[in-house]
């Protein structure tokens, strides 16, 4: 990967990181601030659940984005953490914070569907 490509991914990732930090900070306590009187109980519980779930998702995303920025600094960005093959530019353009090539990712997704629990564990380089 060329230096200018790396810089491009770096700025995409930094923008994403800033966005997520902003969202996560502002969303802190959103479920609590919402007035429960204006919603029936079931709807309130659902909204809370959704807020918490999307908070979880954004936290994971932020962790992935930070890890990708670390890999840019280390010079290992764009290489699959599992099989050490280059990740396709098309995949990187779509998911710049991905740590795995499409083959390993699909393998992991399939294992997850079959009841395996931890993606990181599944894909830990041997
Ligand atoms: Zn791979």
CA 18 to centroid of ligand 1, rounded, Å: 28
Give every CB contact of residue 77 below 8 A, 6+ residues apart in sequence: 1, 6, 9, 68, 71
pLDDT at 102: 95
CA 95 to centroid of ligand 1, rounded, Å: 14
pLDDT, greater one: 76 or 126: 76
pLDDT digits 0-9 by tens, 52-94: 888 889 999 999 999 999 999 999 999 999 999 999 999 999 9
Residues with C-beta atoms within 5 A of ion ligand 1 = 80, 82-83, 101, 104
pLDDT digits 0-9 by tens, 95-115: 999 999 999 999 988 887 776
pLDDT at 126: 46
**Taking the model in full, what pTM does it have?**
0.75
pLDDT at 38: 59
CA 87 to centroid of ligand 1, rounded, Å: 7
């Amino acid at each position: 990967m060329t230096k200018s490509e790396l810089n491009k991914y770096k700025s995409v990732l930094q923008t994403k990181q800033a966005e997520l930090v902003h969202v996560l900070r502002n969303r802190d306590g959103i479920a609590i601030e919402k007035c429960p009187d204006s919603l029936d109980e079931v709807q309130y519980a659902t909204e809370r659940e959704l807020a918490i779930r999307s908070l979880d998702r954004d936290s994971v995303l932020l962790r992935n984005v930070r890890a990708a920025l670390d890999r840019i600094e280390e010079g290992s960005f764009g290489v699959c953490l599992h099989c050490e093959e280059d990740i396709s530019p098309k995949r990187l353009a779509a998911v710049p914070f991905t740590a795995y090539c499409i083959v390993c990712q699909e393998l992991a997704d399939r294992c997850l569907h079959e009841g395996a629990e931890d993606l990181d564990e599944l894909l830990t380089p041997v």
